[in-house]
Structure 1
Amino acid sequence: MSFQAYLDTIEDKTGLTPRQLLALAHDRGLDKPPVKAGAIIDWLKEDYGLGRGHAMAVVHIVKNGPTISDKHVGSAGSHRDESTELWLDGKNSKPA
C-alpha cells in the first residue's frame, strides 16, 4: 500500500482528512517538539480505532509534514507513490 493510500484509508475510517487530523493534533498539543509518537498513536486508537500502522502514517505527517522519501516514487511495487508530496486535503479533492 502506498503512503497516500494509507492516508486515504485513514480518511475512510475516521471521516477526517489528514489536514483535519493535523489540526486536531495541534489543538491537543501533540505537534509540539519533541513529538511523542506514543501519545499520537494512543489518541488515534482511543478516538478513531486506528491501528498502529495507520497511526504511524499520521505521526509521520505531524512530524514531517506532507513530504516523504522518494524511495518508492516511480517504482513499480505495491508501495509506489506518485510524488514525494502527499495530498492532505481529502481524497475527493485530489487533483487528477
Structure 2
Amino acid sequence: MSFQAYLDTIQQKTGKIPQELVDEAHARGYGSDTRAGEIVGWLAEAYGLGRGHAMALAHVVRNGPQISDKHVGSSGSHRDESAVLRLDGLAQRDR
C-alpha cells in the first residue's frame, strides 16, 4: 500500500482528513523529535488505527508530507504518484 493510500484509508476510518490528525498530533506536542512508537500508541488508542496506518501518519507528523522519491513512478503496490503527500483530504482531489 502506498503512503497516500494509507492516509486516504485513515481518513475513511477516522472521518478526519490527514491534516487534522497532524494538527492534533502537533497540538499534543508530537513532532520531529517524538518517537514513532509514541505516536502509533496514541493513534491506536484514540482512533483504533493499526500499526501500518499509524506509522504512515507518524512519518508525516515527524517529517512533513515529503517522502522519498524511490517509489514515485515505480510499479507495484507501494507506488506513489508524487513525493509530496496530499493531506487535504479525498474531497479535494477532484477540484
Task: Give the TM-score normalised by the residue count of structure 2.
Answer: 0.93
Task: Tell me the equivalent position of 1:77.
Answer: 76
Superposition RMSD on alpha carbons, in Å?
A: 1.3
Identity value in percent: 62
State the alpha-carbon separation in 2 of the partners of residues 35 and 83 from structure 1: 26
Contact 2:3-2:80 at 8 Å conserved across structures: yes
1:6 corresponds to? 6
Report the Cα distance in structure 2 between the residues aligned to 1:88 and 1:95, rounded to whole angstroms: 14
Q: Which runs of 5+ in 2 are unaligned?
A: none
1:54-91 Cα distance to aligned partner (Å, 9 max, x none): 10001100111010111111112111111101000101
Look up the match of 2:36.
37
Matched AA of 2:42: W
Q: Look up the match of 2:15.
A: 15
Flag as ranges the 4+ runs of structure 1 deviating above 2 A: none
CA displacement at 1:95 relative to structure 2: 4.9
Determine the C-alpha separation between the residues in 2 that align with 1:86 and 1:5. Answer: 10
CA distance in 1, matches of 2:68, 2:94: 21
How far apart are residue 34 of structure 1 and its match? 1.7
Which residue of the partner structure matches residue 88 of structure 1?
87
Mean CA deviation greater in 34-43 or 6-15: 34-43
Corresponding position: 1:27 with 2:27: yes
- CA deviation after TM superposition for structure 1 residue 35, in Å: 1.3
1:45 Cα offset (Å): 0.5
1:61 aligns with 2:64: no
**Gaps (5+ residues) in structure 1?**
none
| Paired residues, number | 95
User: What secondary structure sits across from 1:75 in the alignment?
Assistant: coil
